[in-house]
């Protein structure tokens, strides 16, 4: 029993970090109806930035989220203005291909700068853990999860308590309506995309202490994050958090009770099951599909 609780606790701590990593992906999908396949690559890029900061200055990887987040925000803004805005209303194949292309560019650049070897960030508390009752809590996972929770709360406040946040939510529910209400939907999309990419900054910093990473790791990350947002309901932020916690637990249960070799299969199985049985996910809005498209 303790063993099972231990597995679930570790999974939940992991899931908190996954939630932050997935939040930007679901936000961008919700507002822009674009699946940003490059989200995983951006996450890995931020992890490498954290690695560089840590090796050169010794700044704690979790603290360096304060640096990587604005950097990734700026990168997101530039990406939107140079490329993404041109395919805003294009069919899914175009946006998937373009963001896939961006992922390949990032993968190539990372490989060029940091070489194709596994890197990891190992602060002093990297291998430490403490005991609560009979449960071990790894220090790094706890810190990362707490930091993720704080950032997610800030993101939630931004979306619900500010004018910009309301504009983002309005645009995500009805872009044309928002436009008629005087919201510049183009700028809102740029802001959303930049915020979405900014979350990979903090997310990348946090995952850098949890997992070793590699230029091609982005494939595994994007699969996992897609599984999470499909499970939670694409476009729903609370859904992404719920989906992420469940994904973290499911992965840990699989590695403990089935085999480590099948952990990567968890997101794929989740995608299959959810899209077939409940396509709108756990917390996704059910859209009326009978309304005739104009």
Partner 1 sequence: MTRVAPERLLFGVALAAFFGWLIAYPLYSHNQYWQTVFFIAFLFAVTASGWNIISGYAGYVSLGQSAFVGLGGYTTGIVATRAHINPWWTLPISAAVAGLVAALVGVVIMRTRGHSFVIITIAFLLILQLTALNWNALTGGSTGTTLPLTPYPREWLYTPFYYVMLGLVLLSVLMTWAIRRTKFGTGLIAIREDEDKARAVGINTPVYKVLGFVASALLIGAAGGTYAYFLTFIDPSGMFNILYSVYAVLAVLLGGRATIWGPVLGAFVIELLREETNVHFGATPLNIAIFGALMAAVVLFLPRGILPTIGGWIATRSARLVPGVAEAAIDLRPSGALPMRAAASSSPAEKVLLEVKGLRKRFGGVRAVDDLSLYVREGTITGLIGPNGSGKTTAFNLIDGMMRPDGGEVWLDGRRIDRLAPWSRAHLGLARTFQITRLFRQMTVLENVVAPLRSFSVRQLAAGAVGGHEVQRAEELLDFVGMLRFAHTPAAALSFGQQKLVELAQVLMLDPKLILLDEPAGGINPTLIERLVEKIRELNAMGKTFLVVEHNMPLVADLCDPVIVLARGTRIAAGPALEIQRDPLVLDAYLGEGWTVEEAVTA
Nearer to partner 1, 215 or 248 (CB): 215
With beta carbons less than 8 A apart as the criterion, state whether 5 and 137 touch.
no
Directed axis angle between helix 39-57 and helix 2-32, to 10°?
Answer: 110
With beta carbons less than 8 A apart as the criterion, state whether 208 and 187 touch.
no
CA dihedral 202, 206, 211, 217 (to 10 degrees): 0
- Closest-CA residue to 20 (of 188, 272, 228): 228
The 3 state secondary structure assigned to 31-60 is: HHCCCCCCHHHHHHHHHHHHHHHHHHHCCC
Among 1, 117, 132, 292, binds partner 1 (CB under 8 A): 292
Nearer to partner 1, 166 or 280 (CB): 280
Annotate each residue in 116-145 with x if it binds partner 1 (CB under 8 A) or - if it does not, as one string: x-----------------------------
CB-based contacts of 152, cutoff 8 Å, min separation 6: 19, 20, 23, 241
Distances (CA, A) of 137 to 16, 22, 248: 14, 23, 15
* Nearest-approach distance from CB 233 to partner 1, in angstroms: 12
The 3 state secondary structure assigned to 168-215 is: HHHHHHCHHHHHHCCCCHHHHHHHHHHHHHHHHHHHHHHHCCCCCECH
Interface with partner 1, residue 192, by CB under 8 A: no
For the segment 235-274, give every residue that binds partner 1 (CB under 8 A).
Answer: 261-262, 264-265, 267-269, 271-272
Interface with partner 1, residue 40, by CB under 8 A: no
Among 219, 253, 255, 256, binds partner 1 (CB under 8 A): 219
Listed ranges 57-65, 146-154, 185-193, 284-292: which one lies at the site for partner 1 (CB under 8 A): 284-292
With beta carbons less than 8 A apart as the criterion, state whether 119 and 217 touch.
no
Nearer to partner 1, 135 or 265 (CB): 265
For the segment 87-106, give every residue that binds partner 1 (CB under 8 A).
Answer: 87, 90-94, 96-98, 100-106
Nearer to partner 1, 33 or 120 (CB): 33
Interface with partner 1, residue 148, by CB under 8 A: no
CA angle 278, 279, 280 (to 5 degrees): 95
Nearer to partner 1, 90 or 154 (CB): 90
Listed ranges 6-14, 121-129, 143-151, 218-226: which one lies at the site for partner 1 (CB under 8 A): 218-226
* Nearest-approach distance from CB 285 to partner 1, in angstroms: 10
Interface with partner 1, residue 288, by CB under 8 A: yes
* Nearest-approach distance from CB 151 to partner 1, in angstroms: 26
């Amino acid at each position: 029993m303790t063993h099972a609780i231990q597995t679930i606790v570790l999974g939940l701590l992991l899931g908190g970090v996954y939630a932050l990593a997935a939040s930007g992906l679901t936000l961008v999908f919700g507002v822009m109806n674009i699946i940003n396949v490059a989200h995983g690559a951006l996450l890995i890029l931020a992890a490498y930035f954290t690695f560089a900061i840590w090796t050169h200055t010794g700044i704690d990887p979790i603290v360096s989220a304060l640096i990587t987040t604005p950097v990734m925000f700026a990168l997101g803004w530039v990406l939107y203005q140079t490329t993404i805005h041109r395919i805003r209303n294009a069919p899914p194949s175009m946006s998937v291909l373009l963001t896939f292309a961006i992922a390949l560019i990032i993968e190539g650049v990372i490989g060029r700068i940091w070489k194709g070897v596994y890197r990891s960030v190992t602060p002093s508390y990297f291998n430490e853990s403490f005991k609560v009752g009979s449960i071990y809590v790894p220090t790094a996972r706890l810190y990362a999860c707490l930091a993720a929770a704080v950032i997610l709360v800030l993101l939630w406040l931004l979306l619900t308590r500010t004018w910009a946040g309301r504009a983002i939510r309005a645009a995500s529910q009805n872009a044309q309506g928002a436009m008629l209400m005087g919201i510049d939907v183009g700028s809102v999309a740029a802001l959303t995309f930049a915020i979405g990419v900014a979350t990979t900054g903090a997310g990348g910093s946090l995952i850098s202490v949890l997992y070793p990473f590699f230029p091609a790791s982005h494939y595994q990350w994007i699969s996992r994050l897609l599984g999470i947002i499909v499970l939670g309901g694409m476009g729903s932020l609370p859904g992404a958090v719920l989906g992420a916690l469940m994904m973290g637990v499911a992965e840990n249960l699989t590695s403990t009770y089935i085999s480590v070799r099948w952990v990567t299969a968890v997101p794929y199985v989740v995608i299959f099951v959810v899209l077939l049985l409940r396509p709108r996910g756990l917390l996704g809005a059910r859209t009326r599909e009978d309304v005739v498209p104009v």
